[in-house]
Amino acid sequence: MRISISELGYLPTIDFFHKMYHSDIFILLDNIVTDSRHVKTAFKTPNGKIVLTVPIFLVKNQLIKDTKIVSNNWQRQHWNCIELAYKGCKYHELVEGFRDFYLNNKWENLGKLNIKLVKKIHGLLDIKTKLVRFSSLKQDILKTYPDGYMFTKSFKERTYKQLHGKFISDLSFLDFLFNCGGIGKYDLEKYFIKKEATKKDGSTN
């Protein structure tokens, strides 16, 4: 049983979901101190790369799961950016699937926001990996899952078809999703690379 762990960020990049895809259990690290990596994401617009930030109340040593979001117009602003960036993309119906998420919900907690987005994408991709919040574990990971072993997977981002000119790396996974589609529309293994049999020492066949 392959177990991996990643910090819980806002709309993470492709490598986050690549690691999830190759794991049996994926631990969402939500009980570490919040920093800029957990509130920022990037998209490619007609005017180039843009970074979006979830506004939060700054409290020293506050954990992701406890971080409160500032209530302003950020959800509308983020949705407007996404809508502009992916107008005319190949899988626009997937873009529209996020409209309600941004416009008809009020997100007040960063941990809950980030987990909900990860689970939404997890569902769209039909990945079978089990998602577990680190803060929900009552004991050490390997004591909770005695048949498991910690798993790492190297990742090198490759180009894929994007809108708006030359390829830009390190964007939100939504860029890949909206341009390439989910499982059933795009063979994810062509990008994520076919699963390899991984031994307990971390090597592959």
Q: Which of 172, 177, 164, 133 is nearest to 32 (CA)?
A: 133
pLDDT at residue 181, as a whole number: 80
CA–CA separation, 151 and 25 (whole Å)? 10
Cβ atoms within 10 Å of 14's Cβ, excluding its own: 21
Q: Which of 112, 152, 147 is nearest to 26 (CA)?
A: 152
pLDDT at residue 198, as a whole number: 44
Residues 63, 31: contact at Cβ < 8 Å? Answer: yes
User: pTM for the full model?
Assistant: 0.88
CA–CA separation, 153 and 128 (whole Å)? 17
Please give the chain's pLDDT, 205 residues, in tens: 999 999 999 999 999 998 998 899 999 999 999 999 899 999 999 999 999 999 999 999 999 999 999 988 999 999 999 999 999 898 889 999 999 999 999 999 999 999 999 999 999 888 889 999 999 999 888 888 999 989 887 788 888 889 999 999 999 999 999 998 865 545 566 676 544 444 444 444 4
DSSP 191-204: HH-----B-TTS-B
Question: Phi then psi for 71, rounded to 5 degrees?
Answer: -85, 100
Question: Phi then psi for 118, rounded to 5 degrees?
Answer: -60, -45
Q: Which of 99, 96, 103, 55 is nearest to 76 (CA)?
A: 103
CA 4 to chain centre: 14
72: helix, strand or coil: coil
HSE-up (13 A, CA, CB side) for residue 161: 8
H or E stretch covering 25: strand 25-29
Where do the domains of the chain lie?
Answer: 2-192
CA–CA separation, 72 and 173 (whole Å)? 25
Residues 6, 16: contact at Cβ < 8 Å? Answer: yes
CA–CA separation, 180 and 203 (whole Å)? 30
